[in-house]
Structure 1
Amino acid sequence: MDMLETRQLAYFVAVAEELHFGRAAQRLGMAQPPLSRAIRQLERHLGVTLLDRGGRAVTLTPPGEVLLREARAALAAVGAAGRRTRRAGRTDPRLVLAMKPGGDGALLPGILAAYAAAPGMPPVELVCNFSERAAMLRDGRADVALLHGPYEDFSGLAVEDLLVEDQVVVVPRWHRLAGHAKVTMADLADETLPRWPRRLDGRSDDGPVAQDAGQLMQLIALDRLIAVLPESVRGHLREDLTCVPVVDAPRTTLVVAWPEHSRSREVAAFVQIATAVAAERRPTSQAVAVGVALTGRDGGGPERPRSRR
């Protein structure tokens, strides 16, 4: 069997990311000669060349690119297994929910109240994170998360849709667009928009990177940029900001997500409660539309959780 050790994978990932044996050795806290020997032993074990050492720089070969991708995933899975195991042994169990501040579509109070009322459920620990929520599910730092499609990566996760929203543009109250009843994306063509970490729609705006909600709202108030966001942001705006509907912006979908292989009773209960609370809050027309999207039939609920790759 081609069994690999996590130590070998960690050594290779360091070299593959640094593309320099000296820097990789420093990063790993070891001398360069044993690192070089370890990589050569790995190549001999696999029977392939992973790194092209010719020329002035180290580069990845095609097999090396494959191993880098697979090694990162394997190391992440090993780390997640350790975190989940340690958390399972806690004397004070918690269900860890990752969410973006203000990114719950006003559903979270109802969800948390219903979950707290369910018998035998542990307390919910909220972790607010602007851009790493999906990663937190994959690496074991969180049990469930509230994410937004179509912009976030759902690979390796199971999800259920909660709320579909139109989008608005958030601007200072004195901005040229502030008095409009509605705008189009073309109206925003000359404006500075934020860059979103790990955005999946291929859009690359030239504004500052959006690191967190507070920073984003401060930059808008200072006229450094404007932002197109789900309409539920209305309930979280500062007094010096306002929003205008963007009629041709793509709709966003708030989902509850969890690791696709999770067998946790607590996670299953949270997902069931979240979808029930969302269905009660959702306008009838939207509930039917989401039901059709999930099941292919009018009025039906989801037959089973979905995994999106």
Structure 2
Amino acid sequence: METRELRYFVAVAEELHFGRAARRLGIAQPPLSRAIGRLERRLQAVLLERSSRAVTLTEAGAVLLREARAALEAVEAAERRTRRAAQAPAGQAGVVLVTKAGASSELLAKLLDAHAAEPDAAGVDLLLCGMGEQGPMLRDGRADVALLHLPFDTTAGLDTEVLCTEGQVAILPAGHPLAGRPRLRTADVTGLPDLPMPRWPGPDGSYPAGPGPRARDHAQLLQLIALGRACWIAPESCRTQLREGLAAVPVPDAPMVTTVIAWPPHSRSRAVADLVRTATRVSS
């Protein structure tokens, strides 16, 4: 199969309309229909059920849609990583590590220091991103390695190593009545009318409806909490970032948070392997 054919099929499968898919691709509809027909004959499978009123995916089509998205994503990632390698000075191609801004700060510092001390260690370019952006950046080639946090981030399609597991704490303004308690329940924190939970942007950049303030990263959120505009349930390691005016109270019934280091399964980069080894060593 050619990448062009996969792009054609993905457009039709997502639009479920040949006319809209053709406009999206910038081609005429007849060659698009012929291309899908050739693809079906080559695979010996009906991918789309067509009628005068609708286009629907068959079971085989649903499988190809999932696999085609992954394949096109891998091609795009390969293009990006190749360009990065070509632009780097000879012998100085490094590894790009992405993590949420403000997350796992202590672990990250230990990892970078330990890696830099290794003989012949490749350089590490650190990218700080917003909530949930590490996975997409890793999959599309903008990054080579990522720190992810379960159950909040997805590791589907990635190779991972567990680095640490920890409980969670409620981050509150130091003067709030709940800040002096020895522990809290999740329900105590999520239902506070005076301190709503923050709203994070979705994959399309839009924010869900709700009373909480909009937040893009940890630093911004901590400022909102200090101002008495929000509260938050966060991994216990966030205690190290707390400034004056903030308090952390354990929340035993909140889910445990597992930090993993992740990379694409097809990676054969020695620099990536070295960084993963260092991460597992410093976290043990």
TM-score (norm 1): 0.75
Once the two structures are aligned, what percentage of the paired residues are identical? 56
Give 3-state SS (helix, strand or coil) of 1:93's partner. Answer: coil
2:278 maps to which of 269, 273, 283? 273
Look up the SS of the partner of 2:20 in the other structure. helix
Q: Is the 8 A contact 1:105 1:163 kept in 2?
A: no
Cα distance in 1 between the residues matched to 2:244 and 2:144: 35
Counterpart code for 1:76: E
Is 1:94 matched with 2:94? yes
Measured in 1, the distance between the counterparts of 2:15 and 2:182 equals 51
Supply the distance in 1 between the matched residues of 2:26 and 2:219 (Cα, whole angstroms). Answer: 37
- Alpha-carbon contact 1:15-1:24 (below 8 Å) kept: yes
For the residues of structure 1 that align with 2:282 and 2:126, how far apart are their CA atoms?
Answer: 18
Paired residue for 2:156?
155
1:170 aligns with 2:171: yes
Distance 1:168 1:137 in 2: 28
Post-superposition shift, 1:104?
1.9
Query: Counterparts of 2:229 and 2:15 in 1: how far apart (Å)?
Result: 34
- What is the aligned partner in structure 2 of residue 290 from structure 1? none
Instruction: Give the superposed CA RMSD.
Output: 3.0
Q: In the TM superposition, what whole-angstrom CA distance separates every residue of 1:76-131 from its partner, at most 9, and x where no partner exists?
A: 12222333333333324121001111212412222212222222222210111231
Q: 1:58 to 1:172 in 2, by over 3 A?
A: farther
For 1:146, the equivalent position in structure 2 comes to: 147
Gaps of 5+ in 2: none
Q: How far, CA to CA, are the matches of 1:223 and 1:51 in structure 2?
A: 54
Q: What is the alpha-carbon distance in structure 2 between the residues aligned to residue 207 and residue 165 of structure 1?
A: 29
1:178 is paired with a residue whose SS is: helix
Q: Among residues 213, 229, 237, which one is paired with 1:232 in the alignment?
A: 237
The 5 A counterparts of 1:47-196 are 47-54=44-51, 56-89=53-86, 90-91=88-89, 92-130=92-130, 131-188=132-189, 190-191=191-192, 192-193=196-197
Q: CA deviation at 1:9?
A: 0.5
Residue 9 in structure 1 maps to residue 6 in structure 2: yes
Evaluate the alpha carbon distance shift between residue 125 and residue 165 of structure 1 in structure 2; reply closer, same or farther with a 3 A threshold: same
Counterpart residue identity of residue 110, structure 1:
K
| Structure 1 residues 53-88: Cα deviation after superposition (integer angstroms, max 9, x where no partner) | 326443222221111111111111222233333333
49-58 vs 143-152, which moves further: 49-58
Give, in whole Å, the separation in 2 of the partners of 1:181 and 1:84. Answer: 49
Which runs of 5 or more structure 1 residues have no equivalent in the other structure? Answer: 280-309
1:224-256 CA-to-partner distances (Å, cap 9, x unmatched) read: 653221012223345554332101212212222
